[in-house]
Amino acid sequence: MIFQVENPVVEVHDLTVSYDRKPVLWGIDLTLPAGALVGVIGPNGAGKSTLIKAMMNLLPVSSGYVRIFDQPLKQVYSRISYVPQRESVDWDFPASVFDVVLMGRYGQLGLFKRPRKADKDAAMDALEKVGMQSFANRQISQLSGGQQQRVFLARALAQNADVYFMDEPFAGVDIATETAIIQLLRLMRDEGKTVIVVHHDLQSASDYFDWVVLLNMRLVASGPTEQVLNQELLEQTYGGKLTVLSKVGDLLRKQEFPAREKS
Partner 1 sequence: MQDFLEFFSFTDANIRYVTLGSVLLAASSAVVGCFTLLRKRALVGDAVAHAVLPGVCLAFILSGTKNPFILLIGAFVTGWLSLVVIDYITSRSRIKEDTAIGLVLSVFFGIGILLLTSIQQTGNAAQSGLDKFLFGSAASLIGGDLIAFGVVAVLLLVAVVLFYKELTLLCFDQAYARTIGFPVRGLELLLTTLTVFAVVVGIQAVGVVLMAAMLITPAAAARFWTENLKVMLVLAALIGAFSGIAGAFVSYTAPSMPTGPWIVLIVSMIAILSFALAPGRGWVARIMRQRRNKTRILEENLLKLLYQLGELRQDYGSGRSLEDLLERRNIPKKEALGGLQKLKRQGYLRNEDSRWLLTPEGEKRGRRVVRLHRLWELYLTQYLNLASDHVHEDAETIEHIITPELEQRLVEELNYPDLDPHSTRIP
Residue 74 binds partner 1 (CB under 8 A): yes
Choose the binding region for partner 1 from 64-72, 112-120, 234-242, 249-257 (rule: CB under 8 A).
Answer: 112-120
Q: What is the DSSP letter of 134?
A: G
Are the beta carbons of 217 and 46 closer than 8 angstroms?
A: yes
Q: Which is nearer to partner 1, 165 or 170 (CB)?
A: 165
Establish how many alpha carbons lie within 13 A of residue 7's alpha carbon, considering only the half-sphere containing its beta carbon. 2
Residue 100 binds partner 1 (CB under 8 A): yes
Residue 84 binds partner 1 (CB under 8 A): yes
Residue 12: partners with Cβ closer than 8 Å, 6 or more residues away: 28, 29, 30, 31, 51, 55, 64, 66
Q: What whole-number distance in Å separates Cα of residue 82 and Cα of residue 208?
A: 19
Q: Which is nearer to partner 1, 58 or 187 (CB)?
A: 58
Which residue from 7, 88, 134, 227 is in contact with partner 1, where contact means CB under 8 A? 88
Residues 123-142 that bind partner 1 (CB under 8 A): 139, 141
Q: What whole-number distance in Å separates Cα of residue 74 and Cα of residue 125?
A: 27
Residue 96 binds partner 1 (CB under 8 A): yes
End-to-end CA distance of the chain: 31
Residues 39-68 that bind partner 1 (CB under 8 A): 53, 56-58
Torsion of CA 50, 51, 57, 60, to 10 degrees: 60
Q: How far apart are CB 84 and partner 1 at their closest, in Å?
A: 5
Q: Which is nearer to partner 1, 111 or 244 (CB)?
A: 111
Residues that bind partner 1 (CB under 8 A): 53, 56-58, 74, 77-78, 80-82, 84, 88-90, 93-96, 99-100, 103, 106-107, 109, 111-112, 114-115, 139, 141, 155, 159
